[in-house]
């Protein structure tokens, strides 16, 4: 039901963009064709009707339900009608630039305002939609959710014992925020052909909760890193953990040649200072012939970053917001950069993905950030290269 409503609102916005294109061509090419005017007019009427229907969704189970107050709903409809009247007035005066600007800004903002950001809506969003848009309810997903519940209970017990409220809050929010990413990475493992072999060995570079999830899902997983906290956690789960610092050029992964079938490099590369080729070649060394590297990173070429660059603002100021060791993003990459680095390091790219898990509203962010993400969401659906995450699957050549 939720997925259907997302498709519904995206359909409205796509129709609205089509209307703007008609308006643009009609103005700049001076097309006085009555058929074009009639078509654009009826398209506009259709959009108005769809948006009014959208505002009248009152099912309690929908995260996009507005308010139970009927007066509030009628006020929303009135705002939409006034907005379109203003748009038509400016269209008739051929103020195309202002009209398009007004339509884009007000249209997306008004839609964003009426998408439920109340507590009920956010809870439904987290519980039902935060894993993947198209993920079907399955035994694997159910098992995954049960593992996540265990993590949350363990963190709650740690809070009671140690009374570290800040640490508890930070870890809890991190888990909730990255749940979609972990499930996505797990699904990626199932798409790899090598996964059909028996007794495959997986190496996780820079362990996380994903490492434990894979172990609990009966994967033969190993881990390397430098975090003592994770060393204790993985030892408790009976996962082999060895020290390896991929941020230095003279260290090697403490495993022999062609040991692993799959290497997972999940949200680590943006924290490193040395040239990626040094550790990518080391990954290649310990991968078996035709072994697979799954790498996921934030995307530098997001819509907010592009806007900031146009305004002369650096989107990734080093160490400005997070002075915790290893937490800051040092260098964020684009899809083309990652593909180029992989090819230079002896890998063949077999699959590319632009997942949506970082583009969805999250409880880890403020209401303002949630609001802005909802405005941006139709853009990232239509233009995947603006999404906030990148995932590449590459095979050893």
Query: Hey, how many other C-beta atoms are within 10 angstroms of the C-beta on 143?
Result: 13
pLDDT per position in the chain (397 positions), as tens? 444 455 555 566 566 666 556 655 555 555 555 555 555 556 666 665 665 555 444 443 333 333 444 444 455 455 555 555 555 555 554 444 455 555 555 555 554 444 444 444 444 444 443 434 344 446 677 788 888 888 887 777 765 555 455 455 677 777 877 888 888 898 888 888 665 566 789 999 999 999 999 998 889 999 999 988 888 889 989 999 999 998 888 889 999 999 999 999 999 999 888 999 999 999 999 999 989 999 999 999 998 899 888 888 888 765 544 555 456 788 899 999 999 999 999 999 999 999 988 887 655 566 677 667 766 776 787 788 889 999 999 999 8
Angstrom distances, CA of residue 34 to CA of 46, 100, 200, 317: 18, 21, 66, 53
Strand partners, 395: 292, 348
**What pLDDT sits at residue 133?**
38
**Main-chain dihedrals φ then ψ at residue 35, nearest 5 degrees:** -65, -40
**What pLDDT sits at residue 351?**
92
Q: Where are the domains of the chain?
A: 2-118, 180-396
The sheet with strand 287-298 has its strands ordered as 241-243, 220-225, 201-205, 260-266, 287-298, 389-396, 347-353
Coil, helix or strand at residue 287: strand
Give the residue from 268, 248, 155, 260 showing the smallest Cα distance to 207.
268
The CATH code that applies to domain 180-396 is: 3.40.50.150
| Encoded tokens for 63 | 């995260």
**What pLDDT sits at residue 389?**
93
**What pLDDT sits at residue 150?**
84
**What pLDDT sits at residue 379?**
75
Given a contact cutoff of 8 angstroms between Cβ atoms, the answer to whether 225 and 264 are in contact is: no
**What pLDDT sits at residue 307?**
86
**What pLDDT sits at residue 278?**
92
b/e per residue, 83-113, with b = 16+ CB within 10 A? bbeebeebbeeeebeebbeebbebbbeebbe
- For the question of whether the overall pTM of this predicted structure is more than 0.85, the answer is no
Query: Hey, how many other C-beta atoms are within 10 angstroms of the C-beta on 196?
Result: 8
């Amino acid at each position: 039901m939720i997925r259907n409503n997302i498709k519904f609102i995206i359909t409205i916005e796509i129709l609205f963009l089509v209307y703007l294109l008609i308006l643009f061509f009609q103005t700049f090419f001076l097309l006085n064709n009555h058929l074009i005017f009639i078509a654009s007019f009826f398209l506009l009427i259709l959009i108005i009707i769809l948006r009014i229907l959208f505002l009248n969704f009152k099912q309690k189970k929908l995260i996009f339900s507005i308010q139970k107050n009927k007066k509030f709903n009628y006020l929303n409809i009135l705002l939409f009608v006034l907005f379109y009247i203003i748009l038509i007035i400016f269209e008739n005066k051929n103020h195309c630039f202002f009209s398009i600007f007004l339509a884009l800004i007000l249209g997306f903002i008004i839609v964003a305002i009426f998408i439920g950001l109340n507590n009920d809506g956010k809870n439904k969003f987290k519980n039902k939609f935060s894993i993947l848009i198209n993920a079907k309810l399955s035994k694997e997903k159910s098992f995954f959710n049960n593992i996540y519940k265990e993590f949350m209970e363990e963190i709650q017990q740690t809070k009671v014992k140690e009374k570290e409220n800040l640490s508890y809050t930070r870890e809890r929010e991190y888990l909730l925020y990255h749940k979609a990413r972990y499930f996505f990475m797990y699904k990626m493992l199932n798409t790899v052909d090598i996964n059909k072999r028996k007794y495959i060995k997986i190496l996780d570079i820079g362990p996380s909760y994903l490492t434990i999830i894979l172990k609990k899902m009966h994967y033969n997983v190993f881990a390397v890193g430098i975090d003592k906290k994770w060393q204790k956690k993985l030892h408790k789960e009976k996962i082999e953990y060895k020290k390896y610092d991929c941020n230095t050029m003279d260290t090697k992964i403490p495993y022999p040649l062609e040991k692993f079938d799959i290497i997972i490099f999940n949200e680590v590369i943006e924290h490193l200072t040395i040239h990626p080729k040094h550790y990518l070649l080391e990954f290649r060394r310990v991968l078996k012939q035709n072994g697979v590297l799954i790498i996921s990173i934030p995307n530098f070429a997001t819509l907010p970053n592009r806007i900031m660059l146009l305004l002369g603002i650096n989107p990734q100021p080093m160490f400005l917001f997070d002075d915790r060791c290893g937490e800051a993003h040092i260098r964020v990459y684009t899809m083309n950069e990652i593909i180029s680095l992989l090819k230079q390091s002896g890998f063949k790219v077999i699959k590319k993905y632009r997942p949506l898990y970082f583009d969805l509203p999250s409880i880890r962010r403020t209401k303002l950030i949630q609001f802005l993400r909802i405005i941006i969401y139709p853009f990232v659906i239509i233009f995947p290269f603006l999404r906030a995450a990148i995932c590449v699957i590459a095979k050893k050549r």
